[in-house]
Amino acid sequence: MQNSPSSPKRVLSKPHIATLILLAGLSALGMNLHLAALPSMSSHFEVDYRVMQLSVSLYLAGNAVVQIFVGPISDQMGRRPVLLASMALFLVATVGCIFATNVEVFFFFRVAQTVVAATMVLSRAAVRDMYDTNDAASMIGYVTMGMAIVPMIGPAIGGFLDQWMGWTAVFWALFLMGALTLAITYFDFGETAHKSGKTLGAQFAEYPELLCSPRFWGYSLASGLASGSFFAYLGGAPFLGTEIYGLSSAEIGIYLSAPAVGYFVGNFLSGRFSGRVGINRMVLWGCIINGVGVLVSLIIALAGADTFLTFFGFMCFVGLGNGMAIPNGTTGAISVRPHLAGTASGLSGAIMIGAGAALSAYAGFLLKPDSTAVPLLLLMFATAIAGLVAILLVILREKQLNS
């Protein structure tokens, strides 16, 4: 039956850039808003910090799984329905976290929250749907820079909420932010994709072509291991801030944001200079800056001269290096097989987040009540060096192919 002239007809439109930033930021907020509250949450659930810290690594692991599947599913069904469904499920899972009666129930709903990773993946996919290559790169840069604001302010807000009203207030804030983003997306985000027509099996069958490419692995591991330093930091820094440096949850929230400041600058440098300098050199310098920042902090800690200012201050270099290495490494991974760009983006992201989940969990178990910052910094430095080796192997392989 045709619509009558007076019947309402929704006209789907391109989403505004602010909507895309909100979507990308919601996933990041879900990861880091509660970080400063981890010590008080471990007290509430009567578990060791190393157990409570699994809320970070489990979230990252679930995030990696979602990234593998959400791209092909949205190619088949469309971006809009997958986005709306993921945010609705995120709201339900967030309420489950708030009313969890024990840590096991909390972890169940915490993993369920990772469905919101679809918002980060599909906000970028929507940019690719709407713009050609050059404009898409610029727009994704804006989205990434906007998203970088979330890690800057998220832990600080979470720390103040925890100190003011308790840890559940952090998750109520997540719920309200999710509900607001869902409402804005419903009214602003029209369908941007042409459905692929391929079955999920046909799309997943393309994965081996990427997994057999040394350059794909090189770029993915370079960006993944560079970011691994940051994820290891997320796993251990709240404990160090509380137990070693004696900071309150509000103070931890502020200082945890240090890498995000550098990440914002690094993304700006990537947008400004990647085209001129080349992605390989940008990844290389990003890995070097990341490693040098951790090394200097490690030397200070080994000398017994570290303070919370030196520890958190040098994390700005970790963020700066990540802001240079991650976008350029991701671009390299996507460029290896241009006809598989969407699949490569999801798979490379899953590799990065999966490595982050493992490192975050390991960092949490490294630290004990009598620990110093040294074990965490050693793990971060080893990870940074591994990322540097990965991009050097990519550069060496390209020289051999071109010689």
* Tens-place pLDDT, residues 314-373: 999 999 998 888 878 877 887 777 666 666 777 887 888 778 778 877 887 787 777 888
Instruction: Tell whether 2 is covered by a domain.
Output: no
Q: At 88, which CATH number?
A: 1.20.1250.20
Please list, in sequence order, all residues whose beta carbon lies within 8 angstroms of the beta carbon of residue 36, skipping any fewer than 6 positions away. Answer: 155, 156, 158, 159, 162, 238, 249, 250, 252, 253, 256
Mean pLDDT, residues 241-256:
83
Distances, alpha carbon 223 to alpha carbons 260, 279, 319, in Å = 16, 11, 12
Let me know: does 25 contact 264? Beta carbons within 8 Å: no
Distances (CA, A) of 67 to 11, 36, 64, 121, 230: 29, 26, 5, 7, 19
Residue 180 lies in a domain: yes
What would the two tokens of residue 105 be?
Answer: 């129930």
Q: Evaluate if residue 172 carries a pLDDT over 60.
A: yes
**267 neighbors 137 (Cβ within 8 angstroms):** no
> What integer best gives the mean pLDDT of the chain?
82
Rounded Cα distance, 106 and 16, in Å = 35
Whole-number pLDDT of residue 157: 84
What local confidence, expressed as pLDDT, does residue 4 receive? 41
Q: Where are the beta strands (DSSP E) in 240-348?
A: none
Averaged pLDDT for residues 168-182: 94
Strands (E), 96-135: none
Most confident region among 108-117, 150-159, 346-355 by mean pLDDT = 108-117
CB 234 within 8 A of CB 35: yes
Residue with the bigger pLDDT between 330 and 374: it is 374
Whether 95 shows a pLDDT value over 90: the answer reads yes
Residue 313 domain flag = yes
Instruction: Read off the pLDDT of each residue in 66-90 and give the average, rounded to a whole number.
Output: 85
By mean pLDDT, which of 115-119, 170-174, 181-185, 370-374 is the weakest? 370-374
384 is in which domain, residue-wise? 17-187+206-402
Specify the number of domains making up the chain: 1
Lowest mean pLDDT among 6-10, 119-123, 185-189: 6-10
Alpha helices in 33-53 (DSSP H): 38-44, 49-52
Token couple for 78: 């469309």
Q: What is the pTM of this model?
A: 0.75
What percent of the chain has a predicted confidence (pLDDT) above 70?
Answer: 87
Q: 81: part of which helix (H) or strand (E)? A: helix 79-98
pLDDT at 271 over 50: yes
Q: How confident is the model at residue 184 (pLDDT cuts 50, 70, 90)?
A: very high
Q: How confident is the model at residue 377 (pLDDT cuts 50, 70, 90)?
A: very high
Among 18-22, 368-372, 375-379, whose mean pLDDT is lowest? 368-372
Alpha carbon distance 53, 320 (integer Å): 25
| pLDDT value of position 334 | 72
What is the distance between the alpha carbons of residues 265 and 199, in angstroms, rounded to a whole number? 41
pLDDT at 19 over 60: yes
pLDDT winner (highest mean) among 12-16, 18-22, 128-132: 18-22
CA 198-204-210 angle, 5° bins: 120
d(CA 330, CA 226): 12
Query: Is there a domain that residue 331 lies in?
Result: yes
Asked, for residue 7, whether it belongs to a domain, the answer is: no
Q: Which two tokens stand for residue 62?
A: 């679930």
pLDDT band at 94 (very low <50, low <70, confident <90, very high): very high
Residue 5 lies in a domain: no
Q: Is the pLDDT of residue 11 over 60?
A: no
> In the prediction, which pLDDT does 14 show?
77
Question: Rounded to 5 degrees, what angle do the CA atoms 300, 302, 304 make?
Answer: 75
Cβ–Cβ under 8 Å, residues 270 and 324: yes
Q: Is residue 200 part of a domain?
A: no
Report the pLDDT value the prediction gives residue 212, as an integer from 0 to 100.
84
Q: How high is the pLDDT of residue 5?
A: 40
Would you say residue 76 lies in a domain? yes
In this prediction, residue 135 carries a pLDDT of 53
In angstroms, rounded to a whole number, what is the distance separating the alpha carbons of residues 3 and 18? Answer: 32
pLDDT at 147 over 90: no
Residue in the structure block whose two tokens are 């989403």: 15
Q: Which of 71, 252, 108 is nearest to 167 (CA)?
A: 252
Which residues, in sequence order, are CB contacts of 278 under 8 Å at separation 6+? none
Q: pLDDT tens for residues 37-56?
A: 888 898 899 888 878 878 88
